[in-house]
Amino acid sequence: MMQKIIAVALFFLLCIGCAGCQKTPERPIAIGNDTEKLIEQAQKEDADAASESSAPLDLYTRLHAPATYSQEITSKVGRLHVFADAKVLLPSCELPIVRVKPMEFTLAQARRFAEVLMGNDATYVQYDYENETRGAYERRIERLRYALSDWAEVGQYIFDLQYNTEQEAEEAMRKLIAKAGTAPEAYPAYTPEFEWELRPLYVNGVEKENNDTYFDLYSTKDQRVFSRLSIRNAGDGFGVIEMEYIRDDAIPMDVFNYESNSRKTEAGELAITPEDAQQLAKNTLSQMGIEGFVCAANLPYLYRTDYNDYRPAHFLTFKREVNGAVETCTNAMEASNEYNQSWKYEAVYLLIDDDGIVRFEYKAPCEIVEMVAECPELLPFPEIQGIFEKMCVIVDNKVDYNDLWDSGSMEYHVTTVRLGLVSIQEKNENTRLLVPAWDFLGYERARRTAEDEWRTTGDTSELEPYLTVNAIDGTIITRGY
């Protein structure tokens, strides 16, 4: 998943507004969400709006929103600076409130996902890492031999979590060569049963009853490279429901960690265009029966191979769409509720290169259960602006009163202000609401001391959410990470 490189921004500290800010709104600014009160307010306003005569939709005019937004704000102590030079993006549709609930994957979906991602003619095998084919062992030997050709500069980084010394790597290679000599040429093909696997769950050494189900499937074309499809309906044990496909199971698990495009030259260029990659992604979702999503981000990307080098790809994120309104895409993949229980945002992620889909993930699937309000009344942008300018240097300000930042400073650069849908959990319920909200997005720069060089995070994706404001009641929505 894309993670922050500088984990230094945002905590609750009181601070005053600064010159040039909008008038402080009269309504109190709260952090968190009273969803019952929000729904009551929205449904009343929704009924009022429905009774009015229809008119051509122009949210810019209705909400008094500009096409661009510029402002400079400094925190009370002066270590946190916010620079807004942003385009303001509004949809051309009403933004509803929708209730959704998590759902588990089915075996019918598992079968369909396998057919689409692995192919109708896939050779399914029962892969065993401890007892591989000759070709798979030879591949691992080639990788070790390459690492040992320059252990100091290359090898120790490829095998940093496996072998502490060059001698350990050499001994491992000798064992692999011996295994390869007696390994089978191929695994026998088989027809998978498409049945759930039950696994024991232990908490503090005690087995806990659970209803979690798992599914793993491997396929191969050459008995050297193995593709994997995994599904986890692990809501009871790990609070995780997700599906993952990876074209080559030897690729490191960090392929969704964002890498700077400063590596782009050494990684080379892609032949497939962003448009063609997006069309391939859309076709794949359609074939898999995944509906109600649109592409919300399509970014140039670099993924790390098993040789610790980098290759270019397109990284696409699909988010849920409801009546034309889209859940806003950010690099926050997970949030927590007031009880510090984490939950993931629903999303579909694809990594695509010139050979097709490198990786496909569907996180936290949900289904729509109710339209709560079709067109609730939204606060005008000047009031949202005032909330942002007051709170952006207060919420999660970790710089002003931290001795580690005595001579350092941090900058938030807001490049996009987007009105869309944001997912929040309902109190004491296993449901979520998609509500209209404003995301102030961009990138950050920071240096711990005045002598340090500036470090920049998210300068390409510009999907870092620095403040999220509920468009209905003006409360602050905690985005998570």
Query: For position 256, what pLDDT does the model report?
Result: 65
pLDDT on residue 21 = 33
Helix axes 166-182, 134-148, angle to 10 degrees: 160
Cβ(393)–Cβ(72) under 8 Å?
no
**237, pLDDT greater than 80:** no
pLDDT, the chain, mean: 87
CA dist 264 and 314 (Å) reads 12
* 320-358 pLDDT per residue, tens: 999 999 999 998 888 876 656 678 999 999 999 999 999
Q: What is the pTM of this model?
A: 0.88
Structure-token pair, residue 392: 């952006």
Question: Band of the pLDDT at 53, cuts 50, 70, 90?
Answer: very low
pLDDT of amino acid 57: 84
Give bridge partners of residue 386 from the DSSP assignment: none
Q: What is the pLDDT of residues 114-159, one digit of tens each?
A: 999 999 899 999 999 999 999 999 999 999 999 999 999 999 999 9
pLDDT band (50, 70, 90) for residue 255: low
Give residue-wise pLDDT tens across range 29-48: 666 666 777 776 777 666 45
Contacts (Cβ under 8 Å, ≥6 apart) of 399: 8, 9, 75, 77, 79, 80, 405, 408, 409, 410
What tokens does 372 get?
């709560």
Percent share of the chain, pLDDT over 90: 67
Phi, psi of 136 (to 5 degrees): -70, -40
Which residues are paired to 313 by β-bridges? 301
Classify 193 as helix, strand or coil: coil
The answer, yes or no, to whether residue 161 has pLDDT greater than 70, is yes
Of the pLDDT bands very low, low, confident and very high (cuts 50, 70, 90), residue 74 is very high
Buried b (16+ CB within 10 A) or exposed e, 334-367: ebebeeeeebbbbbbbbbbbeeebbbbbbbbbbe
pLDDT, residue 49, reads: 56
Q: 7 or 205: which carries more pLDDT confidence?
A: 205
> First-to-last CA distance in the chain?
10
Does the pLDDT at position 407 exceed 70?
Answer: yes
pLDDT for 17 equals: 31
Neighbouring residues of 391: CB distance < 8 A, sequence distance ≥ 6: 29, 467, 469, 476
For residue 473, what are the contacts with CB-CB under 8 A and spacing of at least 6? 27, 37, 38, 41, 379
Quick check: 305 and 293 in contact, CB under 8 A?
no
Tell which residue, 327, 310, 356, has the closest CA to residue 420: 327
- pLDDT range class, residue 1, cuts 50, 70, 90: very low
The DSSP secondary structure of 255-304, one letter per residue, reads TTS---GGGHHHH---SS-HHHHHHHHHHHHHHHT--SEEEEEEEEEEEE
pLDDT at 22 over 60: no
Output the CA–CA distances (angstroms, integers) from residue 405 to 200, 375, 396, 414, 453, in the order listed: 46, 45, 15, 22, 14
The better pLDDT of the pair 24, 285 is held by 285
CA dihedral 320, 322, 326, 332 (to 10 degrees): -40
Give the model's pLDDT for residue 462. 82
Among 244-248, 299-303, 331-335, the range with the most confident prediction by mean pLDDT is 244-248
pLDDT score recorded for residue 107: 97
Tally of residues, the chain = 481
